[in-house]
Amino acid sequence: MTPCSKATETRCMNPSASPVVIVGAGLAGLTAALHLADQVPVIVLAKRGLSEGATAWAQGGIVGVLGTDDSIESHVRDTQDAGAGLVDETTARFIAERSAAAVAWLVEQGVPFTPDQEGPLGLHLTREGGHAVRRIAHAADATGKAIHDQLLAAAKAHPNITLRERWMALDLITSRHLQRDEAPRCYGIYVLDMDKQRVETLAAQAVILATGGAGKVYHYTTNPDTSTGDGIAMAWRAGCRVANMEFIQFHPTCLYHPQETSFLITEALRGEGGHLKLPDGTRFMASHDDRLELAPRDIVARAIDFEMKKHGIDHVWLDATHLGEAFLKEHFPMIHARCLALGIDIAREPIPVVPAVHFTCGGVVTDLAGRCDLPGLYAVGETTYTGLHGANRLASNSLLECVVLGRTCAEQILSEAAAEALPLPAWDESQVENADEQVVIAHNWDELRLLMWNYVGIVRTTKRLERALHRISLLRSEIDDYYSNFRVTRDLLELRNLVECAELIVRSALLRHESRGLHFSRDYPRTLPVSFPTVLITNYNQR
């Protein structure tokens, strides 16, 4: 579909000075953009609004090894403990060592963190599950939005950064599209301009995938609608390895309410003393882990799932009433206001909560400079597998990873000579037509997400996984046929990427014959004494 046809030949590009194209306008993408833009032109693409990504939804905060009671070793140890034996120690140490500088850089950008005159850098630090000490810098309970708003404003003001809303990446342009007999590399990207309903060809000296995770592959998730695994799927189709896709983090406490199906109740509420309870008021975490409500997320999520099934209940309660109304309004103003608007006064009654998909711990394999297997292609943030998160992510390490590796990625690109600028083939849609029935996409979307929720959830079995894989293969066939015959739309592209990610998750889960971290199998309940990441390899020439 991609080489130039006679009808589109005149639209082939012949760039003289290609920009760096960043797919995704969240923290990872904006960090890279701001570190690049003083030296090279940058285009940042957002497939919806510039503020609709996952970063703005992050409540808790960002890790910073700042306090006198803290250390790099302590942070690395906590990261390893949460990651259940699959954390790459070199990666964890590299990022922990740069955590203080990352927080300081955000302070320099004007991010309004919650202050504390006696705290390091003048910041208030909170604690979350899995952390030995208080080390989470935060802006009340809306840290992601505070960070994103400030960096987005800086990007808008920079003359060398072009921000494009409603532009969705389709696929990477590689040596295969140019029919060049050479080692594969990335030369650019095809992008759908949704307002004009036209596919554009963007040449790039480098492409950075910062598209976030794949949470929308599940029916219940705390993720925004943008989290459809686009970067993971595009990199896989271009021949890159992916790793640890079986480790999908379920956040233990998503608000249970018919009007708010994706509202997260931050981990920090438990960090400040919130208690998980059954309907009769009994606390239950002591039966599951000595760390109680501050155990890592995988343990807390499984504990809640166990208690819900044991007692036949739809949710459990998170009780913070003992913390007092003044404290809750000061430290958790967004949660207090949102719940109050729904008729829940968290200062006087417990909050109904359930686990929901929250974070994709695996992704595109990269090094600590964001380099993928394909030269010219980089990836940063939740899209990636760097070894930091292992089998379970430690709370608030995600924002830290975005800032630290967003910077190292930019530095790596600036250190390399730009590849030869070549004419790129325009997108060829001469053999397709407008879709006849969009209901097919909606039906397959719903079926896929329910399938993943029911068969590939918190607790798994081999039989369920095999059934899921069989059905996914049928859905993939239907989606591929649709994609081959009709003009692309955002819904079609997202569905195509989701089914790709679903297959990667299930295939990875079937390869892991143990229970570890976020992957719990009834058929393999024990944890092996030694384990390794699950790495999937694709054949570049067959994609």
Residues serving a catalytic function are: 297
Cβ 364 vs Cβ 385: under 8 Å:
yes
Distance CA 192, CA 46 (A): 11
DSSP state of 68: T
Separation between Cα atoms, residue 34 and residue 332, nearest integer Å = 30
Nearest to 215 by CA among 17, 54, 425: 54
* Cβ–Cβ < 8 Å for 216, 223: yes
Structure tokens at 101: 């500088």
At 137 the three-state DSSP class reads strand
463 token code pair: 């039989």
Judge contact between 42 and 467, C-beta under 8 A. Answer: no
**Is there a contact between 337 and 279 (Cβ–Cβ < 8 Å)?**
no
- Which one-letter DSSP state was computed for residue 141? T
Alpha-carbon distance 283 to 287, whole Å?
Answer: 9
Instruction: Output the six-digit token pair for 294.
Output: 């501050």
β-pair partners for 243: 363, 535
Name the burial class of residue 68, with classes exposed (0-12), middle (13-18) and buried (19+) by CB atoms within 10 angstroms of its CB: exposed
CA of residue 290 relative to chain centroid, distance: 29
Q: Are 524 and 513 in contact (CB under 8 A)?
A: yes
Rounded Cα distance between 220 and 450, Å, is 9
CB proximity list for 199: less than 8 A, separation 6 or greater: 170, 190, 191, 192, 193, 427, 429, 488
Cα separation, 246 vs 390, in Å, equals 11
Q: Whole-angstrom Cα distance, residue 315 to residue 301?
A: 12
- Non-local (6+) Cβ contacts of 306 within 8 A are 288
Distance CA(332)–CA(427), nearest Å, equals: 48
- Measured CA to CA, the distance from residue 235 to residue 139 in angstroms comes to 34
- Collapsing DSSP to helix, strand or coil, 429 comes out as coil
Q: DSSP string covering 179-227, please? A: T--SS--EEEEEEEETTTTEEEEEE-SEEEE-----GGGSSSBSS-TT-
Q: Which helix (H) or strand (E) holds 448?
A: helix 439-455
| Cβ-contact 23, 206 below 8 angstroms | no
CA dihedral 214, 219, 222, 228 (to 10 degrees): 20
